[in-house]
Amino acid sequence: MLQDDNPDQTIGSGAIAGPSRSRDPRATREPQVDSSGQTKQIPSYGLPFFEYRRSLFLAGQPIPTPPSPLPDTYTVPIDYPKPVPYTPRPCDPDSAIGRLETLLREPGAEETEKAWRSGVGGVHDHLTNKRRFTKPIRLGLVIKVLRAGWIKDGTWPIDPRTNRAIKPPSDSPSPEPLELAPENGTGQSQASLKVQKMDKDDGEWVDEMEAQASHQPK
């Protein structure tokens, strides 16, 4: 349970956490363990509060909404809830999504020109041009495609010592993807079916991936 400095006041469930871009020094304050050893004090925003909210989200628990005005600290449990177990669905390696997964499977693959010319660039163009896909792509793969585009156009910073893209700052391991939409009897999520039906006339992005790869120099 999330509490502010007043032990008699708790925070209800909701989805909004208040300001996220503040430069307030509270955002960098280290969590303080209480004398009981069961709870700790964390700043009301900044990375510690983000990590707490993130753990609740991955565990499928309600995300608390801070009161107004925002307190300096919150009291939270020492041990955060564990993520919900995830069983990945099998992906056909010969499908377009399977080939995209293979292209970007290795760490740093999104930096390579080979991956970009082999289809990542085409998918990136679909994303940035706000074109709808006829087949869904998991969020983790979308992030890799967008990062490849940022590296390609120079938006993503490069380490001058290694000439490689700088790794994103993170002290937390990347979580496994979560299946948030319920499945129907065919084993497909309702969200997947909706995406497939949204725009059949927009052109198969699968064909664009293959066409782009075939027209690029080897």
Pair 206, 96: CB distance under 8 Å:
yes
* pLDDT over 70 (residue 197): no
pLDDT in tens, 153-187: 988 888 888 888 888 765 555 555 554 444 444 44
In a domain, 7, yes or no: no
**Domain carrying residue 114:** 96-215
Nearest one of 81, 82, 74 to 26, comparing CA atoms: 74
Q: Are residues 100 and 55 in the same domain?
A: no
47 lies in the same domain as 100: no
DSSP 116: I
Residue 24 above 70 pLDDT?
A: no
Return the minimum-mean-pLDDT range out of 26-30, 78-82, 100-104, 148-152: 26-30
Identify whether 205 is part of a domain: yes
| pTM listed for this prediction | 0.45
Helices assigned H by DSSP within the chain: 47-58, 96-103, 113-115, 121-128, 139-152, 190-198, 205-215
Mean pLDDT on 29-58: 81
What token pair was written down for 140? 């983790």
Amino acid sitting at position 192: S
Cα separation of 34 and 25, whole Å? 21
